[in-house]
Chain A
Amino acid sequence: MIAVPAVELVDLKVNFGSIRAVNGLSFSAELGEVVSVLGPNGAGKTTTIETLEGYRRPSSGSARVMGLDPVSDRRALAPMIGVMLQSGGIYPSMNSGEALRLFASYFPDPAPVSDIAAKLGIDNFARTPYRRLSGGEQRRISLALALVGRPKVAFLDEPTSGMDIEGRLAVRQVVSELRDSGVCVIIATHELSEAERFSDRVIIVDQGNLVAQGPPRDLIDESGTESLEDLFLAVTRREASDRDRREKPERDRRYKPGTGRREKPEKARRDTKGKNQ
Chain B
Amino acid sequence: MKRRSPLIAQALAETKMTLRRGESVLLAVVIPLAALIGFSKTSIINFGTAKPINFLVPGILTLTIMSTSMVGLSISTGFERYYGVLKRLGTTPLGRGRLLAAKALSVTAIEILQATVVVVAGLMLSWRVPSSGPLVIAQAVAVSLLAGIAFSAIGLLIAGTISAFAVLGLSNTLWFVMLLVSGIVAPISKLPQALQVFSKLLPSTALSQALHGLFGGLVTSHGSVVPAAQSVPVSSWLVLAVWAAVAGALAAWKFKWE
A→B interface (CB under 8 Å):
53-55, 74-75, 78-79, 81, 83, 85, 87-94, 98, 101-103, 105-108, 145, 149
Contacts and interface: CB of A to CB of B under 8 A. Distances in A.
Contacts of A90: 83, 85, 88
A74 to B, nearest CB: 8
Contacts of A106: 6, 9, 92-94
A78 B83 contact: no
A54 B21 contact: no
B92 A92 contact: no
Contacts of B20: 93
Interface residues of B, number: 25
A203 to B, nearest CB: 21
A105 B99 CA distance: 13
A199 B247 CA distance: 49
A103 B92 contact: yes
B4 interface: yes
Contacts of B91: 53-55, 74, 78, 81, 83
Contacts of A91: 13, 17, 80, 83, 85
A94 B83 CA distance: 13
Contacts, number: 71
Contact of B93 (A55, A79, A88, A145): A79
A108 B3 CA distance: 10
A55 B88 contact: no
Nearest to B10: A102
Given A78-B92, A78-B95, A105 B83 contact: no
B87 interface: yes
B83 to A, nearest CB: 5
B5 interface: yes
Contacts of B5: 105
Contact of B92 (A55, A94, A149): A149
B96 to A, nearest CB: 9
B84 interface: yes
Looking at B20, B79, B92, the one whose CB has the most chain A CB atoms below 10 A away is: B92
Contacts of A89: 83-85, 87-88
A85 B88 CA distance: 7
A94 B10 CA distance: 12
B88 A93 contact: no
Contact of B88 (A79, A81, A83, A149): A83
Contacts of B84: 85, 87-89
A94 B17 contact: yes
Most buried by A among B4, B21, B79, B93: B93
Contacts of B85: 88-91
Nearest to A129: B20
Interface in B158-177: none
Contacts of B4: 105
B130 interface: no
19 contacts: A54-B91, A74-B95, A75-B93, A81-B91, A88-B85, A88-B88, A89-B84, A89-B85, A89-B87, A89-B88, A90-B83, A91-B13, A101-B9, A105-B10, A106-B9, A106-B92, A106-B93, A107-B93, A145-B88
